[in-house]
Amino acid sequence: MTRLSNQSLPSSAAARPQYERGGVRPGVVHFGPGAFHRAHQAAAFDTLLAQDLRWGLTGVSLNSRGVAEALAPQDGLYTLALLDAQTEYRVIGAIGKVLTRDDPGPILAALTHADTRIVSSTVTEKGYCLDASGALDFAHPAIRSDLEAARSADWVPGSFTGWLVRGLQARRLAGLPGVTVMCCDNLTDNGRKLESATMALAETIDPETARWIADQVTFPNAMVDAITPATDDALRARVAAAIGLEDAWPIQRERFTQWVVEDRFAGERPALDVAGVTFASDVRPFEAAKLRLLNGPHSALAYIGLGRGLETVAEAMADRELARFVEQLMREDIAPSITAPPGLDLSAYITDVLARFANPAIRHLLSQIAWDGSQKLPYRLLDTTREALAAGRPVERLALPIAAWLRFLQRATREGHAITDPLAAPLLERAGDWRRILAMREIFGELGEDARFVRAVEAGMATLNAGRLEPLPA
Ligand code: CS2
């Protein structure tokens, strides 16, 4: 079968880029062109390109070569499958090149190109090297090695934050204007966190550049949402059959998508509104609603569902007891912690999220959501729990997914299978004595020492051990 490429594109049966790719100029350097970026932000830029060719994307994969190798023979093209009762296929052309850590020269050239106005990122929670307080972790090996490297003028960074400082330093020295740095990961206050981390690193490496960044660069907060199950061979086969071409790395996502960006751009703002993007003066209420009411319950379904032998989110939602538990968790325990963004009806939002989870057209593996629990749970469930305790509300239901996570770690230790988590080693080492996990301040902060929380987690373990989700009557 012919491979997808510029040349074969006209013969494909999918929707195609509505612009002449030869005329595209890269205006954005994106770190982390994985499934989420390619399903969400790149699709929005693809829509924008039909009106304005100055917003092409250059991808940078710091940790793997897979995306670069899959997309190079395809001229950056890939297929996006929009999953619903009827699947729709669309070829996305927004990404030109994908660079890897083997291309430090081209990465620096892209960052310092006069046409580059945005640097964006989806490097996942752990990619920012932050500590439990959300500040840059100077003890992180990647940051330590960047600090070492930065002693030489032509240093090559390893971390994303290192690359930001390096690129911005080079822009300053070249007399170029600043850029907008757009964080697109699921972190509370994501733009501000990246701003403080970048400033902290720049101040240590080159205070002059730090001052320049404060003056010339903005870091808007953003809320990004689209459920994106990982690519599997079944998708590759479906795409090949549907478009009539071979695509080494197609992407799938639900039809629903939302992107709210703080209106805080250093230079020109891309007219992403044509792709349904909302610009808002304050994104925090949207972020809180999404992280707490979508990602929190997602993690709850993952850890509890895996414990019940289930495989996908839709299957977990078909487990009536679990679906009822998650709905109660959302309506009774999480919603009270959220101040709804203007115009958003929280109750309707919850109903919509539950319907998205239950969508039978989407095979979203619970094991995928279960990755990186130590990085995700603080934003997704622990902040809500802290606030509930402070307000004197019960935390039994909020503690149940945490108990399910601890049991997930215990099972991994017992059965000797690996987990994906930057803290895998200490977590698995402590799993037999779960209180030692609650004592890990880098995850739980002071919450792990709160007796009410510890009691609730213990009760949650007992409930789950009894195969239940509601505690046994006393
Ligand atoms: C999921 C998210 O994998 C996960 O942890 O909770 O990727 C989720 O699907 C997206 O944030 C939805 O926007």
Kindly state if the Cβ of 225 falls inside 6 Å of ligand 1: yes
Rounded to two decimals, the pTM is 0.97
Span from the CA of 129 to the centroid of ligand 1 (angstroms) = 20
Structure tokens of 448? Answer: 């792990």
Return the bridge partners of 82, or none.
88, 253
- Residue nearest (by alpha carbon) to ligand 1 atom 11: 225
- So what's the pLDDT on residue 178? 98
Q: How far is CA 91 from the centre of its chain?
A: 22
CATH of 284-465, one of 3.40.50.720, 1.10.1040.10, 3.40.50.1820, 1.10.3720.10: 1.10.1040.10
Q: Which atom of ligand 1 is nearest to the CA of 364?
A: 9
Q: Which residue has the tokens 């982390």?
A: 32
For the chain of 474 residues, list the mean pLDDT of each consecutive stretch of 10. 97 94 98 98 98 98 98 98 96 98 98 98 98 96 98 96 98 98 97 98 98 98 98 97 97 98 97 98 96 98 98 98 98 97 94 98 97 98 98 98 98 96 98 97 96 98 96 74
Task: State which of 294, 362, 377 you would mutate to test the pocket of ligand 1, scoring each by most atoms of that ligand within 8 A of its C-beta.
Answer: 294
Q: Where are the domains of the chain?
A: 9-280, 284-465
Phi/psi for 117 (5° steps) reads -120, -15
Return phi, psi of residue 221, to 5°. Answer: -75, 155
Whether 122 is in the pocket of ligand 1, judged by its Cβ within 6 Å, is no
Cα(204) to ligand 1 centroid in Å equals 34
Taking the CA of residue 368 as reference, the ligand 1 atom at the shortest distance is 3
- What pLDDT, on the 0 to 100 scale, is given for residue 473? 73
Contacts of 198 (CB under 8 A, 6+ apart): 161, 164, 165, 168, 181, 213, 217, 219
pLDDT at 474: 66
User: What atom of ligand 1 comes closest to residue 380's alpha carbon?
Assistant: 6
Contacts of 171 (CB under 8 A, 6+ apart): 111, 112, 177, 178, 179
Class of domain 9-280: alpha beta
- Closest Cα partner for 299 from 370, 383, 235, 246? 370
Residue nearest to atom 8 of ligand 1 (CA): 227
CA of 151 to the centre of ligand 1 (A): 38
For Cα atoms 110, 113, 114, give the angle at the middle one, nearest 5 degrees.
Answer: 155
**Per-residue pLDDT at 472:** 73
The pLDDT value recorded for residue 342 is: 87
Name the token pair of 252.
């799938």
Phi, psi (rounded to 5 degrees) for 321: -65, -40
The residue behind tokens 């795409």 is 239
Q: Which amino acid is at 163?
A: W
Q: Which residues contact 44 (CB under 8 A, 6 or more apart)?
A: 257, 259, 272, 275, 276, 277
Q: Is 226's C-beta closer than 6 angstroms to any atom of ligand 1?
A: yes
